[in-house]
Structure 1
Amino acid sequence: MQAEQLDFYTRLAHALALQFGRGCEVVVHDLEAADPGHSIVAIENGHVTGRKVGDGPSHVVLEALHADGAPLADRLAYLTKTSDGKILKSSTVFIRDCEGRAVGIFALNFDITMLRAVQSTIAGIVGTEPSAPRDPEPIVRSVADLLDDLIEQSVELVGTPVALMTKDEKVRAIRYLNDTGAFLITKSGPKVCKYFGISKYTLYSYLDEAKNSPADTDASATS
Protein backbone atom coordinates (compact mmCIF):
# COMPACT_ATOMS: atom_id res chain seq x y z
CA MET A 1 0.00 0.00 0.00
CA GLN A 2 1.08 3.55 -0.70
CA ALA A 3 1.89 5.71 2.32
CA GLU A 4 -0.99 8.05 1.46
CA GLN A 5 -3.43 5.17 1.38
CA LEU A 6 -2.20 3.80 4.68
CA ASP A 7 -2.49 7.24 6.30
CA PHE A 8 -6.06 7.73 5.04
CA TYR A 9 -7.36 4.29 6.04
CA THR A 10 -5.64 4.50 9.43
CA ARG A 11 -7.41 7.79 10.14
CA LEU A 12 -10.71 6.40 8.80
CA ALA A 13 -10.35 3.36 11.07
CA HIS A 14 -9.82 5.62 14.08
CA ALA A 15 -12.86 7.75 13.20
CA LEU A 16 -15.18 4.75 12.76
CA ALA A 17 -13.97 3.19 16.00
CA LEU A 18 -14.77 6.38 17.88
CA GLN A 19 -18.12 6.72 16.10
CA PHE A 20 -19.37 3.21 16.92
CA GLY A 21 -17.56 2.56 20.20
CA ARG A 22 -15.50 -0.22 21.77
CA GLY A 23 -17.54 -2.99 20.18
CA CYS A 24 -16.42 -2.02 16.66
CA GLU A 25 -13.05 -3.34 15.56
CA VAL A 26 -11.59 -1.76 12.41
CA VAL A 27 -8.64 -3.46 10.70
CA VAL A 28 -6.37 -2.50 7.80
CA HIS A 29 -4.43 -5.31 6.06
CA ASP A 30 -1.58 -4.62 3.64
CA LEU A 31 -1.69 -7.21 0.85
CA GLU A 32 1.72 -6.02 -0.36
CA ALA A 33 3.47 -6.55 2.97
CA ALA A 34 6.90 -8.14 2.71
CA ASP A 35 5.77 -10.91 5.06
CA PRO A 36 2.17 -12.10 4.45
CA GLY A 37 2.25 -13.51 7.98
CA HIS A 38 2.15 -9.97 9.38
CA SER A 39 -0.49 -8.25 7.26
CA ILE A 40 -2.20 -6.05 9.88
CA VAL A 41 -0.81 -2.52 9.61
CA ALA A 42 -3.51 -0.66 11.55
CA ILE A 43 -6.21 -1.77 14.00
CA GLU A 44 -8.66 -0.07 16.34
CA ASN A 45 -10.41 -1.84 19.24
CA GLY A 46 -8.27 -4.93 18.72
CA HIS A 47 -9.59 -6.32 22.02
CA VAL A 48 -12.66 -7.50 20.07
CA THR A 49 -10.67 -10.29 18.40
CA GLY A 50 -7.48 -10.13 20.47
CA ARG A 51 -5.36 -8.97 17.52
CA LYS A 52 -2.80 -6.19 17.15
CA VAL A 53 -0.59 -4.50 14.54
CA GLY A 54 1.82 -7.04 13.08
CA ASP A 55 -0.49 -10.01 13.51
CA GLY A 56 -1.29 -12.37 10.66
CA PRO A 57 -3.94 -12.70 7.97
CA SER A 58 -7.54 -13.87 8.06
CA HIS A 59 -9.07 -16.37 5.64
CA VAL A 60 -10.14 -13.52 3.36
CA VAL A 61 -6.60 -12.10 3.28
CA LEU A 62 -5.12 -15.48 2.37
CA GLU A 63 -7.65 -15.91 -0.43
CA ALA A 64 -6.74 -12.46 -1.76
CA LEU A 65 -3.01 -13.26 -1.67
CA HIS A 66 -3.69 -16.52 -3.48
CA ALA A 67 -6.02 -15.02 -6.10
CA ASP A 68 -3.28 -14.43 -8.72
CA GLY A 69 -5.19 -11.63 -10.43
CA ALA A 70 -8.63 -13.25 -10.15
CA PRO A 71 -11.55 -10.83 -9.55
CA LEU A 72 -12.07 -10.07 -5.87
CA ALA A 73 -15.44 -8.91 -4.57
CA ASP A 74 -16.13 -7.05 -1.35
CA ARG A 75 -17.96 -9.08 1.32
CA LEU A 76 -20.54 -7.18 3.34
CA ALA A 77 -22.58 -7.92 6.45
CA TYR A 78 -21.58 -11.52 7.09
CA LEU A 79 -21.04 -13.33 10.41
CA THR A 80 -17.70 -14.25 11.97
CA LYS A 81 -16.77 -15.79 15.32
CA THR A 82 -13.81 -15.21 17.64
CA SER A 83 -11.94 -17.95 19.48
CA ASP A 84 -13.62 -16.92 22.76
CA GLY A 85 -17.13 -17.17 21.32
CA LYS A 86 -18.01 -13.60 20.33
CA ILE A 87 -20.31 -13.29 17.33
CA LEU A 88 -19.35 -10.44 14.99
CA LYS A 89 -21.04 -8.75 12.08
CA SER A 90 -18.24 -8.20 9.57
CA SER A 91 -17.63 -6.41 6.30
CA THR A 92 -14.53 -6.68 4.12
CA VAL A 93 -13.72 -4.01 1.52
CA PHE A 94 -10.74 -4.30 -0.83
CA ILE A 95 -8.46 -1.27 -1.14
CA ARG A 96 -7.35 -0.88 -4.76
CA ASP A 97 -4.67 1.04 -6.59
CA CYS A 98 -5.20 3.23 -9.65
CA GLU A 99 -5.20 0.13 -11.87
CA GLY A 100 -7.90 -1.58 -9.85
CA ARG A 101 -5.52 -4.10 -8.27
CA ALA A 102 -6.26 -5.09 -4.66
CA VAL A 103 -3.43 -3.81 -2.44
CA GLY A 104 -5.12 -3.88 0.95
CA ILE A 105 -8.22 -4.77 2.93
CA PHE A 106 -10.36 -2.52 5.14
CA ALA A 107 -12.44 -4.61 7.54
CA LEU A 108 -15.14 -3.89 10.12
CA ASN A 109 -15.95 -6.40 12.88
CA PHE A 110 -18.81 -5.33 15.13
CA ASP A 111 -19.47 -7.36 18.29
CA ILE A 112 -23.18 -8.26 18.21
CA THR A 113 -23.05 -11.03 20.80
CA MET A 114 -25.37 -9.25 23.23
CA LEU A 115 -27.54 -7.82 20.48
CA ARG A 116 -28.23 -11.31 19.12
CA ALA A 117 -29.73 -12.19 22.50
CA VAL A 118 -32.56 -9.78 21.70
CA GLN A 119 -32.41 -10.16 17.92
CA SER A 120 -36.17 -10.35 17.57
CA THR A 121 -36.48 -6.69 18.57
CA ILE A 122 -33.47 -5.33 16.75
CA ALA A 123 -33.36 -7.61 13.69
CA GLY A 124 -32.83 -4.62 11.40
CA ILE A 125 -29.51 -3.82 13.10
CA VAL A 126 -27.96 -7.27 13.30
CA GLY A 127 -29.47 -8.85 10.18
CA THR A 128 -27.17 -10.26 7.49
CA GLU A 129 -27.57 -10.50 3.75
CA PRO A 130 -29.63 -13.51 2.55
CA SER A 131 -26.64 -14.80 0.57
CA ALA A 132 -24.24 -14.68 3.54
CA PRO A 133 -23.28 -17.99 5.22
CA ARG A 134 -25.53 -18.95 8.13
CA ASP A 135 -22.73 -20.34 10.29
CA PRO A 136 -20.27 -17.81 11.74
CA GLU A 137 -16.82 -17.97 10.21
CA PRO A 138 -13.82 -18.20 12.58
CA ILE A 139 -11.41 -15.33 13.16
CA VAL A 140 -8.04 -16.63 14.35
CA ARG A 141 -5.39 -14.84 16.37
CA SER A 142 -2.25 -16.21 14.71
CA VAL A 143 -0.99 -17.73 11.48
CA ALA A 144 -0.48 -21.06 13.28
CA ASP A 145 -4.12 -21.09 14.39
CA LEU A 146 -5.22 -20.22 10.87
CA LEU A 147 -3.27 -23.15 9.40
CA ASP A 148 -4.76 -25.50 12.02
CA ASP A 149 -8.24 -24.27 11.12
CA LEU A 150 -7.66 -24.77 7.39
CA ILE A 151 -6.33 -28.29 7.96
CA GLU A 152 -9.42 -29.16 10.02
CA GLN A 153 -11.64 -27.79 7.26
CA SER A 154 -9.85 -29.92 4.67
CA VAL A 155 -10.56 -33.04 6.74
CA GLU A 156 -14.21 -32.02 7.20
CA LEU A 157 -14.48 -31.53 3.43
CA VAL A 158 -13.24 -35.06 2.76
CA GLY A 159 -15.35 -36.52 5.55
CA THR A 160 -12.86 -39.24 6.48
CA PRO A 161 -10.44 -39.40 9.46
CA VAL A 162 -6.84 -38.86 8.33
CA ALA A 163 -5.82 -42.37 9.45
CA LEU A 164 -8.43 -43.87 7.09
CA MET A 165 -7.95 -41.56 4.10
CA THR A 166 -7.11 -43.02 0.72
CA LYS A 167 -4.57 -41.37 -1.55
CA ASP A 168 -7.37 -39.69 -3.58
CA GLU A 169 -8.92 -38.32 -0.40
CA LYS A 170 -5.59 -36.89 0.72
CA VAL A 171 -5.14 -35.29 -2.70
CA ARG A 172 -8.59 -33.76 -2.30
CA ALA A 173 -7.66 -32.35 1.11
CA ILE A 174 -4.34 -31.01 -0.22
CA ARG A 175 -6.19 -29.36 -3.12
CA TYR A 176 -8.46 -27.58 -0.64
CA LEU A 177 -5.44 -26.34 1.34
CA ASN A 178 -3.79 -25.10 -1.85
CA ASP A 179 -6.97 -23.38 -3.07
CA THR A 180 -7.44 -21.56 0.25
CA GLY A 181 -3.84 -20.28 0.26
CA ALA A 182 -2.64 -22.42 3.19
CA PHE A 183 0.76 -22.99 1.59
CA LEU A 184 1.44 -19.24 1.62
CA ILE A 185 1.92 -19.61 5.38
CA THR A 186 5.54 -20.01 6.44
CA LYS A 187 6.52 -23.62 7.30
CA SER A 188 3.06 -24.89 6.36
CA GLY A 189 4.52 -27.73 4.27
CA PRO A 190 6.19 -29.64 7.12
CA LYS A 191 3.11 -29.29 9.31
CA VAL A 192 0.80 -30.58 6.57
CA CYS A 193 3.18 -33.47 5.86
CA LYS A 194 3.22 -34.46 9.53
CA TYR A 195 -0.56 -34.17 9.88
CA PHE A 196 -1.31 -36.33 6.84
CA GLY A 197 1.60 -38.70 7.41
CA ILE A 198 3.28 -38.04 4.06
CA SER A 199 6.76 -37.04 2.92
CA LYS A 200 7.74 -33.70 1.40
CA TYR A 201 8.16 -35.42 -1.97
CA THR A 202 4.66 -36.93 -1.68
CA LEU A 203 3.21 -33.53 -0.79
CA TYR A 204 4.66 -32.02 -3.99
CA SER A 205 3.31 -34.97 -5.95
CA TYR A 206 -0.17 -34.53 -4.45
CA LEU A 207 -0.03 -30.78 -5.16
CA ASP A 208 0.76 -31.41 -8.82
CA GLU A 209 -2.07 -33.92 -9.03
CA ALA A 210 -4.46 -31.56 -7.23
CA LYS A 211 -3.69 -28.69 -9.60
CA ASN A 212 -4.48 -30.89 -12.58
CA SER A 213 -7.77 -32.26 -11.22
CA PRO A 214 -11.22 -30.60 -11.03
CA ALA A 215 -11.87 -28.43 -7.98
CA ASP A 216 -14.45 -29.52 -5.40
CA THR A 217 -17.76 -27.84 -5.95
CA ASP A 218 -18.59 -28.05 -2.26
CA ALA A 219 -15.42 -26.39 -0.99
CA SER A 220 -16.40 -23.14 0.76
CA ALA A 221 -14.31 -20.03 1.29
CA THR A 222 -13.78 -18.70 4.79
CA SER A 223 -12.63 -15.44 6.30
Structure 2
Amino acid sequence: MTEAQLDFYKRLAHALALQFGSGCEVVVHDLEAADPSHSIVAIENGHVTGRKLGDGPSHVVLEALHAGEERLEDRLAYLTKTADGKILKSSTVFIRDDHGRTVGIFAVNYDITILRAMGDTIAEVVGTGPSAPREPEPIVRSVADLLDDLIEQSVQLVGTPVALMTKEEKVRAIRYLNDTGAFLITKSGPKVCKYFGISKYTLYNYLDEARAADEQDERE
Protein backbone atom coordinates (compact mmCIF):
# COMPACT_ATOMS: atom_id res chain seq x y z
CA MET A 1 0.00 0.00 0.00
CA THR A 2 1.21 3.53 -0.75
CA GLU A 3 1.61 6.12 1.97
CA ALA A 4 -1.33 8.05 0.52
CA GLN A 5 -3.56 4.95 0.64
CA LEU A 6 -2.50 4.09 4.16
CA ASP A 7 -3.10 7.67 5.34
CA PHE A 8 -6.59 7.73 3.79
CA TYR A 9 -7.67 4.36 5.22
CA LYS A 10 -6.29 5.24 8.66
CA ARG A 11 -8.39 8.41 8.68
CA LEU A 12 -11.43 6.53 7.38
CA ALA A 13 -11.01 3.88 10.09
CA HIS A 14 -10.80 6.57 12.77
CA ALA A 15 -13.90 8.32 11.43
CA LEU A 16 -15.99 5.14 11.34
CA ALA A 17 -14.88 4.15 14.84
CA LEU A 18 -15.96 7.54 16.20
CA GLN A 19 -19.20 7.42 14.22
CA PHE A 20 -20.33 4.03 15.52
CA GLY A 21 -18.67 3.95 18.93
CA SER A 22 -16.46 1.62 20.93
CA GLY A 23 -18.20 -1.54 19.69
CA CYS A 24 -17.02 -0.92 16.13
CA GLU A 25 -13.57 -2.26 15.30
CA VAL A 26 -12.02 -1.09 12.04
CA VAL A 27 -8.90 -2.81 10.71
CA VAL A 28 -6.55 -2.15 7.80
CA HIS A 29 -4.37 -5.03 6.54
CA ASP A 30 -1.38 -4.46 4.26
CA LEU A 31 -1.16 -7.45 1.90
CA GLU A 32 2.24 -6.24 0.68
CA ALA A 33 3.78 -6.45 4.14
CA ALA A 34 7.15 -8.18 4.24
CA ASP A 35 5.82 -10.64 6.81
CA PRO A 36 2.19 -11.69 6.17
CA SER A 37 1.92 -12.84 9.80
CA HIS A 38 1.99 -9.15 10.83
CA SER A 39 -0.49 -7.66 8.37
CA ILE A 40 -2.39 -5.19 10.60
CA VAL A 41 -1.11 -1.66 9.92
CA ALA A 42 -4.04 0.28 11.40
CA ILE A 43 -6.73 -0.64 13.92
CA GLU A 44 -9.40 1.23 15.88
CA ASN A 45 -11.18 -0.24 18.91
CA GLY A 46 -8.97 -3.31 18.86
CA HIS A 47 -10.41 -4.36 22.23
CA VAL A 48 -13.37 -5.81 20.30
CA THR A 49 -11.25 -8.73 19.07
CA GLY A 50 -8.21 -8.25 21.31
CA ARG A 51 -5.93 -7.43 18.39
CA LYS A 52 -3.39 -4.64 17.95
CA LEU A 53 -0.98 -3.12 15.43
CA GLY A 54 1.37 -5.73 14.01
CA ASP A 55 -0.88 -8.68 14.79
CA GLY A 56 -1.61 -11.37 12.28
CA PRO A 57 -4.22 -12.09 9.63
CA SER A 58 -7.74 -13.49 9.79
CA HIS A 59 -9.07 -16.39 7.70
CA VAL A 60 -10.23 -13.92 5.07
CA VAL A 61 -6.79 -12.31 4.83
CA LEU A 62 -5.03 -15.67 4.45
CA GLU A 63 -7.45 -16.70 1.72
CA ALA A 64 -6.81 -13.37 -0.02
CA LEU A 65 -3.06 -13.90 0.13
CA HIS A 66 -3.43 -17.40 -1.26
CA ALA A 67 -6.14 -16.88 -3.88
CA GLY A 68 -5.69 -15.42 -7.34
CA GLU A 69 -6.88 -11.91 -8.18
CA GLU A 70 -9.78 -13.23 -10.22
CA ARG A 71 -11.23 -14.98 -7.17
CA LEU A 72 -11.23 -12.02 -4.79
CA GLU A 73 -14.61 -10.55 -3.97
CA ASP A 74 -15.65 -8.21 -1.16
CA ARG A 75 -17.51 -9.94 1.68
CA LEU A 76 -20.21 -7.83 3.29
CA ALA A 77 -22.37 -8.22 6.40
CA TYR A 78 -21.31 -11.74 7.49
CA LEU A 79 -20.99 -13.07 11.03
CA THR A 80 -17.73 -13.69 12.89
CA LYS A 81 -16.95 -14.79 16.44
CA THR A 82 -14.10 -13.82 18.78
CA ALA A 83 -12.22 -16.19 21.07
CA ASP A 84 -14.12 -14.85 24.09
CA GLY A 85 -17.51 -15.41 22.49
CA LYS A 86 -18.47 -12.02 21.04
CA ILE A 87 -20.62 -12.17 17.91
CA LEU A 88 -19.63 -9.60 15.29
CA LYS A 89 -21.19 -8.37 12.09
CA SER A 90 -18.27 -8.03 9.69
CA SER A 91 -17.52 -6.63 6.27
CA THR A 92 -14.30 -7.07 4.31
CA VAL A 93 -13.40 -4.80 1.38
CA PHE A 94 -10.32 -5.39 -0.78
CA ILE A 95 -8.13 -2.36 -1.50
CA ARG A 96 -6.70 -2.23 -5.03
CA ASP A 97 -4.07 -0.10 -6.71
CA ASP A 98 -4.40 1.79 -10.00
CA HIS A 99 -3.77 -1.44 -11.91
CA GLY A 100 -6.47 -3.42 -10.10
CA ARG A 101 -3.99 -5.41 -8.03
CA THR A 102 -5.09 -6.19 -4.46
CA VAL A 103 -2.78 -4.47 -1.97
CA GLY A 104 -4.78 -4.33 1.24
CA ILE A 105 -7.96 -5.08 3.14
CA PHE A 106 -10.31 -2.69 4.95
CA ALA A 107 -12.45 -4.54 7.50
CA VAL A 108 -15.23 -3.51 9.87
CA ASN A 109 -16.23 -5.73 12.82
CA TYR A 110 -19.24 -4.50 14.80
CA ASP A 111 -20.04 -6.13 18.15
CA ILE A 112 -23.69 -7.22 17.99
CA THR A 113 -23.55 -9.64 20.92
CA ILE A 114 -26.06 -7.75 23.07
CA LEU A 115 -28.27 -6.86 20.12
CA ARG A 116 -28.27 -10.49 18.98
CA ALA A 117 -29.21 -11.68 22.47
CA MET A 118 -32.03 -9.15 22.59
CA GLY A 119 -33.19 -10.27 19.17
CA ASP A 120 -33.20 -13.92 20.25
CA THR A 121 -35.22 -13.02 23.34
CA ILE A 122 -37.76 -11.05 21.31
CA ALA A 123 -38.01 -13.86 18.75
CA GLU A 124 -38.62 -16.36 21.53
CA VAL A 125 -41.41 -14.23 23.00
CA VAL A 126 -43.23 -13.33 19.78
CA GLY A 127 -42.26 -16.28 17.56
CA THR A 128 -43.48 -19.83 17.31
CA GLY A 129 -40.03 -21.39 17.53
CA PRO A 130 -36.33 -20.61 17.27
CA SER A 131 -34.77 -20.46 13.83
CA ALA A 132 -31.49 -22.17 13.08
CA PRO A 133 -28.66 -19.69 13.71
CA ARG A 134 -25.96 -19.06 11.14
CA GLU A 135 -22.60 -20.35 12.33
CA PRO A 136 -20.25 -17.37 12.78
CA GLU A 137 -16.66 -17.56 11.58
CA PRO A 138 -13.99 -17.36 14.31
CA ILE A 139 -11.66 -14.37 14.69
CA VAL A 140 -8.42 -15.38 16.38
CA ARG A 141 -5.86 -13.21 18.14
CA SER A 142 -2.63 -14.76 16.84
CA VAL A 143 -1.37 -16.70 13.85
CA ALA A 144 -0.66 -19.66 16.14
CA ASP A 145 -4.32 -19.76 17.16
CA LEU A 146 -5.34 -19.31 13.54
CA LEU A 147 -3.26 -22.29 12.42
CA ASP A 148 -4.71 -24.43 15.22
CA ASP A 149 -8.20 -23.40 14.14
CA LEU A 150 -7.54 -24.20 10.48
CA ILE A 151 -6.12 -27.61 11.37
CA GLU A 152 -9.23 -28.38 13.43
CA GLN A 153 -11.43 -27.30 10.54
CA SER A 154 -9.53 -29.56 8.15
CA VAL A 155 -10.18 -32.54 10.44
CA GLN A 156 -13.87 -31.61 10.74
CA LEU A 157 -14.07 -31.38 6.95
CA VAL A 158 -12.72 -34.91 6.55
CA GLY A 159 -14.87 -36.22 9.40
CA THR A 160 -12.36 -38.81 10.60
CA PRO A 161 -10.02 -38.67 13.63
CA VAL A 162 -6.42 -38.14 12.57
CA ALA A 163 -5.33 -41.52 13.96
CA LEU A 164 -7.83 -43.26 11.66
CA MET A 165 -7.32 -41.18 8.52
CA THR A 166 -6.35 -42.87 5.27
CA LYS A 167 -3.80 -41.32 2.96
CA GLU A 168 -6.59 -39.92 0.77
CA GLU A 169 -8.24 -38.30 3.78
CA LYS A 170 -4.98 -36.72 4.89
CA VAL A 171 -4.46 -35.37 1.37
CA ARG A 172 -7.95 -33.89 1.54
CA ALA A 173 -7.14 -32.22 4.87
CA ILE A 174 -3.84 -30.90 3.51
CA ARG A 175 -5.66 -29.60 0.44
CA TYR A 176 -8.03 -27.65 2.68
CA LEU A 177 -5.09 -26.15 4.60
CA ASN A 178 -3.39 -25.19 1.35
CA ASP A 179 -6.57 -23.64 -0.09
CA THR A 180 -7.14 -21.55 3.04
CA GLY A 181 -3.56 -20.21 3.01
CA ALA A 182 -2.45 -22.04 6.16
CA PHE A 183 1.03 -22.67 4.74
CA LEU A 184 1.62 -18.92 4.43
CA ILE A 185 1.94 -18.91 8.22
CA THR A 186 5.54 -19.08 9.42
CA LYS A 187 6.62 -22.56 10.59
CA SER A 188 3.24 -24.06 9.72
CA GLY A 189 4.83 -27.06 7.95
CA PRO A 190 6.44 -28.67 11.01
CA LYS A 191 3.27 -28.21 13.07
CA VAL A 192 1.09 -29.78 10.38
CA CYS A 193 3.55 -32.67 10.01
CA LYS A 194 3.50 -33.33 13.75
CA TYR A 195 -0.29 -33.11 13.96
CA PHE A 196 -0.91 -35.55 11.10
CA GLY A 197 2.02 -37.80 11.94
CA ILE A 198 3.77 -37.39 8.58
CA SER A 199 7.26 -36.43 7.46
CA LYS A 200 8.24 -33.22 5.71
CA TYR A 201 8.80 -35.21 2.53
CA THR A 202 5.32 -36.74 2.78
CA LEU A 203 3.80 -33.31 3.35
CA TYR A 204 5.37 -32.05 0.11
CA ASN A 205 3.97 -35.07 -1.75
CA TYR A 206 0.50 -34.49 -0.31
CA LEU A 207 0.72 -30.80 -1.27
CA ASP A 208 1.61 -31.77 -4.82
CA GLU A 209 -1.42 -34.08 -4.97
CA ALA A 210 -3.66 -31.38 -3.47
CA ARG A 211 -2.49 -28.78 -5.98
CA ALA A 212 -2.95 -31.21 -8.84
CA ALA A 213 -6.53 -31.80 -7.66
CA ASP A 214 -7.12 -28.04 -7.56
CA GLU A 215 -5.83 -27.67 -11.11
CA GLN A 216 -8.06 -30.52 -12.25
CA ASP A 217 -11.11 -28.86 -10.65
CA GLU A 218 -10.27 -25.58 -12.40
CA ARG A 219 -10.07 -27.32 -15.79
CA GLU A 220 -13.44 -28.96 -15.21
1:152-167, aligned counterparts within 5 Å?
152-167=152-167
Aligned to 2:173: 173
CA distance in 1, matches of 2:176, 2:71: 19
Aligned residues: CA RMSD: 1.9
1:1-223, aligned counterparts within 5 Å?
1-119=1-119, 134-213=134-213
Does structure 2 conserve the Cα–Cα contact (< 8 Å) formed by 1:28 and 1:106? yes
CA distance in 1, matches of 2:173, 2:31: 26
- Three-state SS of the structure 1 residue aligned to 2:150 is helix
Structure 1: state its 5+ residue gaps. Answer: 124-132, 218-223
Query: Are the structure 2 counterparts of residues 79 and 169 from structure 1 closer, same or farther at C-alpha, using a change threshold of 3 Å?
Result: same
CA distance in 1, matches of 2:213, 2:105: 31
Does structure 2 conserve the Cα–Cα contact (< 8 Å) formed by 1:115 and 1:122? no
- Three-state SS of the structure 1 residue aligned to 2:213 is coil
Query: In the alignment, residue 40 of structure 1 is paired with which amino acid?
Result: I
Q: Which has the higher helix share?
A: 2
Post-superposition Cα deviations, 1:92-144, rounded to whole Å, max 9, x if no partner, equal: 01111011111100000000000012226999xxxxxxxxx921000000000
Query: Are the structure 2 counterparts of residues 191 and 120 from structure 1 closer, same or farther at C-alpha, using a change threshold of 3 Å?
Result: closer
Q: What is the number of equivalent residue pairs in this alignment?
A: 208
After the TM superposition, list the runs of 4 or more consecutive aligned residues in structure 1 that deviate by more than 4 angstroms: 120-123
Post-superposition Cα deviations, 1:72-98, rounded to whole Å, max 9, x if no partner, equal: 110000000000000000000111101
Query: In the alignment, residue 66 of structure 1 is paired with which amino acid?
Result: H
Residue 67 (structure 1) shift: 1.2
Query: In the alignment, residue 193 of structure 1 is paired with which amino acid?
Result: C
User: Percentage identity across aligned positions?
Assistant: 85
Indicate the larger mover: 113-122 or 184-193. Answer: 113-122
Post-superposition Cα deviations, 1:147-177, rounded to whole Å, max 9, x if no partner, equal: 0000000000000000000000000000000
- Could you state the TM-score of these two structures normalised by the residue count of structure 2? 0.91
Query: Are the structure 2 counterparts of residues 34 and 80 from structure 1 closer, same or farther at C-alpha, using a change threshold of 3 Å?
Result: same
- Could you state the TM-score of these two structures normalised by the residue count of structure 1? 0.89
CA distance in 2, matches of 1:121, 1:91: 25
Residue 71 (structure 1) shift: 2.9
Query: Are the structure 2 counterparts of residues 120 and 174 from structure 1 closer, same or farther at C-alpha, using a change threshold of 3 Å?
Result: closer
Structure 2: state its 5+ residue gaps. Answer: 124-132
Residue 64 (structure 1) shift: 0.6
- Three-state SS of the structure 1 residue aligned to 2:134 is coil
Structure whose alpha-carbon radius of gyration is higher: 2
CA distance in 1, matches of 2:20, 2:213: 47
Query: In the alignment, residue 53 of structure 1 is paired with which amino acid?
Result: L
Does structure 2 conserve the Cα–Cα contact (< 8 Å) formed by 1:13 and 1:26? yes
- Three-state SS of the structure 2 residue aligned to 1:28 is strand
Query: In the alignment, residue 43 of structure 1 is paired with which amino acid?
Result: I
Query: Are the structure 2 counterparts of residues 18 and 121 from structure 1 closer, same or farther at C-alpha, using a change threshold of 3 Å?
Result: farther
Residue 68 (structure 1) shift: 3.1
- Three-state SS of the structure 2 residue aligned to 1:116 is helix
